[in-house]
Amino acid sequence: MDDSASQRSCRMQDIRTMLQGLTVDDLKEWGGTKIYNRGRDYIGAVDELSSLEDGTLVARVSGTDEYVTSVKHDGNGEFSYTCTCPYVDGPCKHAVAVVLAAAAQLKKHKEIPILDPAADLYLELFDDGGNDEGGLEDDDEEEFAKDDPEPAGRGSLPKGRSPQVEKLLAGKSHEELLGLLSEVATEYPEVGRRLREAVQLQNGQVEPLVRSLRKEIRRVTAEEAWYNPWRHEGNLPDYSRVEKQLRTLLTNGHADAVLELGEELFRRGNAQIEQSNDEGATAEAIASCLEVVLQAVPHTTIAPPKQLLWVIDRCLDDQFGLLDRADGVFKNSRYVECHWREVADVLEERLRALPAPRSGRFSENYRRDSLVAWLLDARRRGGQPERVIPLLEKEAAAGRSFELLVDALLAAGERERARRWCITGHARTIAESPGIAAGLKDRLCRIAVEEKNFPLAAAYHADDFFERPSEQGYKELRRSAEKIKVWPVVRERTLAWLRDGRRPGGAETPWPLPEPEVKRPQPRDPRPRESFPKLEMLIEIAILEKSNDDVVALYRELDATKRWGRQEIDQQVARAVAESHPEVALGVWKKLVDGLIAEVKPRAYEEAVKYLKLMRSVYTKGGRLPEWQGLLVSLRNQHKAKRRLMQELDGLVKEKSEVKLL
């Protein structure tokens, strides 16, 4: 077997392996029953089915229009897919159809060919308009940080040019090309505009283009940005021309103009996003334009420190992540230590001029903390790390930046000073900034572990659990208590606290762990008492410890209390005891089914069917399938007026459990 045949065989095996583990239920869970059923009807509309080297399935699917679709399953339950159709509410019927068509082809022992890179389908698949104009991908970060990136189109075929079109035009005469271009420019005004702008740039007439682009920015940023995904309607401002023109200006050496326009785009774009309701689409489009502006910054004529400050100032005002790629500017090697020192001096002067916050509230400290973080970064990049800790100690003395100071001290090996500042900071932040206080307590716990003071570390884990009971917190407490061989006592007292609310410690309830260095103070004013027993937490622990009898007993106790709606704990209990206590699991799932049907919504019916399938599995294993069938008859009689529910039940009866695709 030659290499190509061997590679082809391996790729086909990868595709077969990907599909073999999939069931019909997997596809229904991925796209929903409705999408699955529609996709099944579209199998015959799948054309040019092929695959990429990594096993991704690719095809053209005919519908209202012709769509290019790709799908890949990673074997761990996750799908990745793309489709050129307008459906945006999750996997589309075309993606499902491609998977089903591939399975059908393999069942017939037919090979799925590899997609030819020269094929139209391949070019359409990778024709991403958002990236054709040079948007930064992850692999572009190194290029972004270089001193002098090559302008687009130098040394290779420019992005956006088609080899097929170039081949077609190569045989035309000069006169034929002029005639064709004139005809296209007349028929498509956008082409004519691009030609005029190209001539203007070639002649050094940049101002008309800048004026035109500024007008376009003002027009687009003034539009309302909204989208209703349920109705597939809305208004999404089109920033494609803005991005193209900014890149054209940059490529032709007009970085200053790009920066000037970028300033206006940033300001007006932020105002537009504040009023938008479009699931982040407008913010993403503006961010793509601002990537070009960031690329322009190092090539402007302003001094390097001012270039850095321009970006930092915009980052300080960036509420929507528009400049998340700004780090590419800071990595540029043209910025040396003296530039960063000048930046740091300016930032420190600004910090001194800021009024002191009147409280420790997050909203009052956010701006100052952000400025401090940029100042610290500038000092480090400027080769002045020795000035970081004194600055932070000054801030901490005024009640701010405790976490930054502690981290800096730990990085410098100053563990004891870090401990003292953790204790001081915790006392000063616990009332108004409990999140900061919790972070400082976490650092004290890490210090205890580093010093091998495991009893103290266990005390912190216990304190965390008593403050915020959780399964993860219980696991951490168990690990740390087992390490010092006191888990049986700690477990007993912890479970007792979950029952009666009496926290261990003191003469009445001896406790093998020391007092932590910091604790939440008892409130002066009486507050509503916590609710005990914490039955849901006790159930989660019983599930964790695989004590199913306790799970059932606790769940019955919980079920006797007044609860509203469906609870995650119900599902956890049913999954945990389905084999050991099938009647309990069946009862839980039946209650969930009844609650979902009562919502009288198609989506709820689909979810109810999932629980009916789980019930079928339990009934089947117990040799009690007639009982499940009787349940379906009962549901039909009780809800026969619910047409959509009847359709779901019909599908449930017709399908075999866990039908494999291959």
Write the pLDDT tens digit of every residue in 372-401.
999 999 999 999 999 999 999 998 888 778
Report the pLDDT value the prediction gives residue 662, as an integer from 0 to 100: 63
Report the pLDDT value the prediction gives residue 523, as an integer from 0 to 100: 59
Lowest mean pLDDT, pick from 212-226, 339-353, 392-406: 392-406
Band of residue 655 on the pLDDT scale cut at 50, 70, 90: low
Lowest mean pLDDT, pick from 68-72, 202-206, 239-243, 437-441: 202-206
Residue 66, strand partner residues? 62
Band of residue 438 on the pLDDT scale cut at 50, 70, 90: very high
Question: Does position 424 have pLDDT exceeding 80, yes or no?
Answer: yes
Higher model confidence: residue 22 or residue 235? 235
Report the pLDDT value the prediction gives residue 189, as an integer from 0 to 100: 74
pLDDT per residue as tens digits for the range 248-298? 999 999 999 999 999 999 999 999 999 999 989 999 999 999 999 999 999
Report the pLDDT value the prediction gives residue 128, as an integer from 0 to 100: 47
pLDDT per residue as tens digits for the range 229-245? 777 788 999 999 999 99
Report the pLDDT value the prediction gives residue 658, as an integer from 0 to 100: 53
Residue type for position 105: Q
Report the pLDDT value the prediction gives residue 529, as an integer from 0 to 100: 63
Task: Give the integer Cα–Cα distance in Å for 296 and 253.
Answer: 9
φ/ψ (deg, to 5) at 123: -65, -40
Band of residue 195 on the pLDDT scale cut at 50, 70, 90: confident
Q: How far apart are the first and last CA of the chain?
A: 26
Q: 20 near 662, Cβ under 8 Å?
A: yes
- Helices 643-654 + 602-621 axis angle, to 10: 30
Band of residue 99 on the pLDDT scale cut at 50, 70, 90: very high
Residue 82, strand partner residues? 70
Report the pLDDT value the prediction gives residue 54, as an integer from 0 to 100: 82
Strand ranges (E), 554-615: none
- Among residues of the chain, what percentage have pLDDT more than 90? 60
Beta-carbon-side half-sphere exposure of residue 133 (alpha carbons within 13 Å): 19
- Residues 413-425, mean pLDDT to the nearest whole number: 96
Question: Does position 8 have pLDDT exceeding 80, yes or no?
Answer: no
Q: 272 near 223, Cβ under 8 Å?
A: yes
Band of residue 22 on the pLDDT scale cut at 50, 70, 90: confident
Higher model confidence: residue 217 or residue 38? 217
Report the pLDDT value the prediction gives residue 146, as an integer from 0 to 100: 41
- Residues 430-444, mean pLDDT to the nearest whole number: 92
Band of residue 627 on the pLDDT scale cut at 50, 70, 90: very high
Report the pLDDT value the prediction gives residue 364, as an integer from 0 to 100: 65
Domain boundaries along the sequence of the chain? 3-128, 189-335, 534-576, 578-662
Beta-carbon-side half-sphere exposure of residue 355 (alpha carbons within 13 Å): 4
- Residues 594-606, mean pLDDT to the nearest whole number: 93
Burial class for 21, CB neighbours closer than 10 Å (0-12, 13-18, 19+): middle
Higher model confidence: residue 188 or residue 104? 104
Q: 648 near 34, Cβ under 8 Å?
A: no
Higher model confidence: residue 399 or residue 58? 58
Report the pLDDT value the prediction gives residue 117, as an integer from 0 to 100: 84
Phi/psi class of residue 118: alpha, beta or left (left: φ > 0; alpha: ψ in -120 to 50)? alpha
Question: Does position 57 have pLDDT exceeding 70, yes or no?
Answer: yes
pLDDT per residue as tens digits for the range 137-168? 333 333 334 444 433 333 333 445 666 677 77
Report the pLDDT value the prediction gives residue 158, as an integer from 0 to 100: 42
Q: What is the chain's Cα-based Rg?
A: 32
Report the pLDDT value the prediction gives residue 177, as an integer from 0 to 100: 79
- Among residues of the chain, what percentage have pLDDT more than 70? 86
Residue 114, strand partner residues? 51
φ/ψ (deg, to 5) at 57: -85, 135
